[in-house]
């Protein structure tokens, strides 16, 4: 460290010939000598503030580096560090490589420090040499990562199947199992910078506790890394999963706005299980149905006595008690529609062309089962949509077999 280098030449890096640009060119090196010695000093005002020391270096062919007399790093060094030594193997320059110099506090000094480098060519006649080093110190980071936001925030929510977590900095080691709802881990997690999106099964209605697993491996990128503290205040979050969506009608048969020769039954299906459905809730031209049958979300089959001809409005009794099963039940808001009742409406152009009442070895359905079947034929000139049509073998139950949305050309 106390070596007198006052007689040495002074130059800037990169030290080179045959490779690179700028710096100090060694025009006389090829064929004359194989090694180059470099020294310089640098100051460290507080060694405890250096948690990591990185070497970024571009070189050709080998080197050894000492800091304050301690050998801290080598690439392709010789067996002995003599003035005429050669690199143990060749290496072409052209890009920087970063190396971490471990435990820098063991060789750094307060105040003045000396770095010494010996550079080696692979052979005396080599056509090139380059040494371009850089030391980068990294200050210690003792601050652990924290959660800066969670979406949705704690409180009443409709759904907890997707939770977005934002950390205060980049972190590593995040797994789906790190975040739990009522002890159940997430199904998947996707990262985008410091944002992590966790996907869960839909939480059941009621209270839900969002918490981190004690066995998580979440760390920041400091050197050394700081673990995320899942026990920090506020890291257990409480929600109440509530149902605030009222039931709606998903299917009405016969379909609204149809022209019918008569109307005896209407089938209504809701978006979810409902209670409080009574025959008197559905009004045809102001007259309530005389019977209703159904459960859950439906279908609910409302039957009517004869209805008048003309435009027939279907409405719901304003005082109905139809609601879902939420802890605070959501009432059905109602819905109105109409039909045209015309006893003289023209007959359909659809005929039953053929049927099989006991199919054992004939055509099979989409489930490859030999079901009974009928064949319908449209003898008209226009397509006919059969949605809301039905088949029955019981005059008292005209909507026994409802045909889905199908069109016969």
Q: Tell me: the pLDDT tens digits for 367-387?
A: 777 677 677 877 677 787 777
**Contact present, 342 and 309 (Cβ < 8 Å):** yes
The neighbouring-strand residues paired with 200 are: none
Q: With bands split at pLDDT 50, 70 and 90, how would you rate the model's confidence at 353?
A: confident
Residue 327 per-residue DSSP state: S
Query: Which CATH class for the 147-241 domain?
Result: mainly beta
Q: Per-residue pLDDT for 115 more than 90?
A: yes
Q: What kind of fold does domain 249-341 have according to CATH?
A: Immunoglobulin-like (2.60.40)
C-alpha 266/C-alpha 257 separation (Å) is 13
Extents of the domains making up the chain: 15-138, 147-241, 249-341, 350-408
DSSP string, 4-16: --TTS---PSPEE
Q: With bands split at pLDDT 50, 70 and 90, how would you rate the model's confidence at 328?
A: confident
Q: Per-residue pLDDT for 244 more than 90?
A: no
* Contacts with 347 (C-beta within 8 Å, 6 or more apart), sequence order: none
- Cα–Cα separations (whole angstroms), residue 370 to 39, 88, 392, 398, 406: 92, 81, 20, 25, 21
Least confident of 11-15, 32-36, 170-174, 397-401: 397-401
Residue 331 per-residue DSSP state: B
C-alpha 352/C-alpha 379 separation (Å) is 11
Domains 147-241 and 249-341 share a fold: yes
pLDDT at 399: 66
**Contact present, 155 and 244 (Cβ < 8 Å):** no
Q: What kind of fold does domain 15-138 have according to CATH?
A: Jelly Rolls (2.60.120)
Angle among Cα 182, 183, 186 to the nearest 5 degrees reads 95
pLDDT-above-70 percentage for the chain: 95
Q: With bands split at pLDDT 50, 70 and 90, how would you rate the model's confidence at 120?
A: very high
In this structure, the number of other CB atoms found within 10 A of the CB of residue 358 comes to 7
* Contacts with 374 (C-beta within 8 Å, 6 or more apart), sequence order: 352, 354, 355, 356, 391
Closest CA to 331 of 322, 339, 340: 322
Q: pLDDT, tens digit, for every residue of 270-296? A: 999 999 999 999 999 999 999 999 999
């Amino acid at each position: 460290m106390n070596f007198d280098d006052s007689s040495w030449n002074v130059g800037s890096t990169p030290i080179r010939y045959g490779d690179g640009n700028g710096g100090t060119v060694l025009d006389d090196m090829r064929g004359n000598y194989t090694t180059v010695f470099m020294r310089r000093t640098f100051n460290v005002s507080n060694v405890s503030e250096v948690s990591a020391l990185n070497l970024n270096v571009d070189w050709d062919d080998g080197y050894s580096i000492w800091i304050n007399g301690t050998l801290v790093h080598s690439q392709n060094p010789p067996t002995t560090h003599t003035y005429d030594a050669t690199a143990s193997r060749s290496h072409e320059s052209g890009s920087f490589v970063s190396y971490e110099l471990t435990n820098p506090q063991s060789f750094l000094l307060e105040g003045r420090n000396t770095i010494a480098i010996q550079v080696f060519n692979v052979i005396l006649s080599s056509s090139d040499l380059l040494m371009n080093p850089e030391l980068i110190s990294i200050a210690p980071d003792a601050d652990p990562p924290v959660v800066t936001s969670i979406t949705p925030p704690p409180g009443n929510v409709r759904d907890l199947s997707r939770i977005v977590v934002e950390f205060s900095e980049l972190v590593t080691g995040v797994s789906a199992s790190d975040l739990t709802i009522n002890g159940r881990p997430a199904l998947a997690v996707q990262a985008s910078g410091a944002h992590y999106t966790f996907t869960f099964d839909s939480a059941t209605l009621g209270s839900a506790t969002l918490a981190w697993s004690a066995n998580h491996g979440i760390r920041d990128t400091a050197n050394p890394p700081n673990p995320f503290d899942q026990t920090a205040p506020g890291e257990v979050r409480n929600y109440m999963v509530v149902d605030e969506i009222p039931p709606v009608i998903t299917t009405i048969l016969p379909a609204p706005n149809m022209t019918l020769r008569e109307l005896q039954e209407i089938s209504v299906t809701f978006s979810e299980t409902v209670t409080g459905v009574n025959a008197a809730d559905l009004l045809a031209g102001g007259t309530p149905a005389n019977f209703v049958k159904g459960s859950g979300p439906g279908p609910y089959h409302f039957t009517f006595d004869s209805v008048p001809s003309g435009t027939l409005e279907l409405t719901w009794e304003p005082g109905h008690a139809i609601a879902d099963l939420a802890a605070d039940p959501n009432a059905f808001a109602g819905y109105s529609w109409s039909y045209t009742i015309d006893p003289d409406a023209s007959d359909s152009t659809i005929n039953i062309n053929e049927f099989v009442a006991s199919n054992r070895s004939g055509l099979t359905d989409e489930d490859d089962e030999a079901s009974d079947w009928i064949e319908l034929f449209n003898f008209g000139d226009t397509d006919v949509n059969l949605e809301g049509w039905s088949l029955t073998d019981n005059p008292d139950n005209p909507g026994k077999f409802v045909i889905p949305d199908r069109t016969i050309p």
